[in-house]
Amino acid sequence: KNQVEQSPQSLIILEGKNCTLQCNYTVSPFSNLRWYKQDTGRGPVSLTIMTFSENTKSNGRYTATLDADTKQSSLHITASQLSDSASYICVVSSTGNQFYFGTGTSLTVIP
């Protein structure tokens, strides 16, 4: 069964600290993996997209990694800011044109 699991479910960190969010998937055949940031009540905004051959991709303070062998991805946030408070959703698409969503990690950055 094609699934995407994210951990932790929620996370609270101090402003300025780093954090890492995890995404494990069983989607096959794999096409690409996206990380989205979703503010409360808003639509998801794309942070990174990685294909099978890409191991790392950065977008400012966000760095995503992908291990296609173990089917794991992580999103590392450096020097967190209050505006980073949001849900972070991992989305895996298959070559069959299907998208599979994780339930997200809720991140709260406190001053």
Partner 1 sequence: DAGVTQSPTHLIKTRGQQVTLRCSPKSGHDTVSWYQQALGQGPQFIFQYYEEEERQRGNFPDRFSGHQFPNYSSELNVNALLLGDSALYLCASSLTLGQLHYGYTFGSGTRLTVV
Closest contact distance (angstroms) between CB of 26 and partner 1 is 15
Nearer to partner 1, 72 or 106 (CB): 106
Closest contact distance (angstroms) between CB of 102 and partner 1 is 6
Contacting residue, 14, 99, 108, 110, with partner 1 by CB under 8 A? 99
CA distance 18 to 3: 27
CA distances from 92 to 15, 54, 73, 104, 109 (A): 29, 14, 10, 13, 26
Asked if residue 45 binds partner 1 (CB under 8 A), the reply is yes
